[in-house]
């Protein structure tokens, strides 16, 4: 399973648990306010509890960005006429 998907599901699950807990409190405030409090509390909890999953997703994002950058450089080299795609060839005058 993708680290992004795991992190997203964990964040949604954490929000769901916190929302259920906050909605169950017998406080006389609107449901919208309770849900906004649940968003804030779950964000703070996710910052501490989901650090490992967030780091995995970050590593995957960096890898994807590097691959995309390499692909872009190969495309630029091919468009400039470099057949090897390495970008190190110089043009002769």
Domain ranges across the chain? 3-79
Non-local CB neighbours of 31 within 8 Å, separated by 6+ positions = 23
Q: Distance (Å, rounded) from C-alpha 34 to C-alpha 28?
A: 10
Sign, CA torsion 3/8/13/19: positive
- Residue 15 and residue 32: Cα distance in Å, rounded? 14
pLDDT at 20 (0 to 100): 97
Q: What is the pTM of this model?
A: 0.69
Return per-residue pLDDT of the chain as tens, 93 residues. Answer: 889 999 999 999 999 999 999 999 999 999 999 999 999 999 999 999 999 999 999 899 898 889 999 999 999 988 988 766 454 555 554
- Residue 74 parent element (H or E): helix 51-79
């Amino acid at each position: 399973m993708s680290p992004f998907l795991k992190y997203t599901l964990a964040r949604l699950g954490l929000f769901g648990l916190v929302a259920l807990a906050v909605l169950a409190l017998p406080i006389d405030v609107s449901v919208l306010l309770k849900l906004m409090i649940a968003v804030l509390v779950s964000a703070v909890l996710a910052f501490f509890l989901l650090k490992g999953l967030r780091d995995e997703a970050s590593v995957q994002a960096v890898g994807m960005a590097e691959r995309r950058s390499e692909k872009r450089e190969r495309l630029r080299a091919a468009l400039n006429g470099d057949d090897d795609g390495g970008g190190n060839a110089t043009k002769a005058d």
